[in-house]
Amino acid sequence: MLQRRRFLHLAGTGASAAMMAPGLAFAKRQADTGQRFVFVIQRGAADGLNIVIPHADPAYGQMRGTLAIDQAAAIKLDGMFSLHPALTRTAAMFAQKEAAFVHAVASPYRERSHFDAQNVLETGGAKPHEIETGWLNRLAGMLPARDPQGVALAPIVPLALRGKAPVTSFAPTSLPAIPADLLDRVGRLYERDRELRAAWVSAVETHQQVHAAAGGVSPARLGLMAAQFLRQPGGPQIAMLESAGWDTHGGQTSRLTAVLGSLDAMLGGLREGLGSAWANTTVLVATEFGRTVRANGTGGTDHGTGAVAWILGGGVNGGRVIADWPGLRDADLLDGRDLRPTMALDGLIASVASQAFGLDPGEVAHVLFGTRPSGEVLPGLVKPARV
């Protein structure tokens, strides 16, 4: 039924029957059904084991020692896992089946350098510095053309969102306004400078669209601002948010609680700001790698491998933790120290992104990550949009 409708639409635009190749069946949607996608990057290697806690694993308590989260304090998710107590709004979304977690995921990268790993996480390459653009920008390029099609709530556009598709960055500022005629004059200075001109034009447009916040910006407000961009008719369908402070080599117990509280508030602000658009929005939270299973000598953990990814949104088939659990005994660990990954993060991202926009999963995997999986990694994560 759906295919037939598309064929009629394509015929109306002059496309011949010969163009109805299988790959095109899910290709560029012409109508804006309001689907939105948000990528929240956790920089610094977020400790998945203490965020989505495998309490039912008998080795958890002993491996984590003084860092282990008390089961009674944590929020039960299912028979195996619980959630860190700081994530109250996220837990509420889970209870309403609007959030899911995927455990023991990792990118193809296996060294433990933040900078190289973030490069892989953002570019979608198999190795660091292989590709100069980001997968999120390539995803934007698969959607109907819009300028900008993506927005980053950050001082500059992060690597994941850099590339050919037009994107912009916005970070609130409390500096004074510039007189309109000076805006024009400065613009004229850049008439012969392509690089500066593009940046200036975009900045002027952005600042005219959104009211800048006064003073410092709370995480909740950042989420709200991202939502405001996404809600604009004809506005960007993709947003990216930054979350920092995850590199807990020491003092992990208090630091993780604090940074989870901030992220929880940001996600809450995003959901609240989206309002009815939440139903058609998908949020992915991911980090460059996880952390060591055992605590280190300084009340924290060191760089690891397997991590947790979060999927949230009004259309998500949530209320579950997806994991092919590798176990936490010595013999189960990767290199004797890390949570062994059992799922590829890029496969997960391709699944989520294709389902979020109703795109062909094989095409998405190819464009974003250069892979051609034989089957879909995680079907049914996001319900098709209500048109």
Summarize as ranges the residues that interact with another protein (CB under 8 A).
Answer: 66, 111-116, 128, 155-157, 162, 168-171, 173-178, 181-183, 185-186, 188-193, 195-196, 199-204, 206-207, 244, 249-251, 296-298, 302
Any bridge partners for residue 338, and if so which?
292, 334
Cβ proximity to another protein, 257 vs 296, nearer residue: 296
Q: How far is the CB of 10 from another protein (least distance, A)?
A: 36
- CA 208 – CA 215 distance, rounded (Å): 18
Closest to another protein by CB, 183 vs 279, is: 183
Tokens of 41: 């990057």
Q: Give the nearer residue to another protein in terms of CB position, either 88 or 296.
A: 296
The distance of closest approach from Cβ of residue 221 to another protein in the complex, given in angstroms and rounded to an integer, is: 16
- Name the residue nearer to another protein (CB basis): 2 or 189: 189
Quote the least distance from Cβ 260 to another protein, whole Å.
18
Q: Which is nearer to another protein, 33 or 113 (CB)?
A: 113
Query: In this structure, are strands 238-243 and 36-42 parallel, antiparallel, or unpaired?
Result: parallel
Select 185 or 329, whichever has its Cβ closest to another protein.
Answer: 185
- Minimum Å gap between C-beta 250 and another protein is 5
Closest distance of CB 133 from another protein, Å: 11
Residue 89: CB minimum distance to another protein, A: 26
Answer for the pair 293, 68: CB distance below 8 angstroms, yes or no: no
Q: Which is nearer to another protein, 185 or 386 (CB)?
A: 185
Minimum CB–partner distance for residue 249 and another protein (Å): 5
Name the phi and psi angles at 175, rounded to 5.
Answer: -85, 160
Q: How far is the CB of 189 from another protein (least distance, A)?
A: 5
Q: Are 315 and 383 in contact (CB under 8 A)?
A: yes
- Comparison of 79 and 176: residue with beta carbon closer to another protein: 176
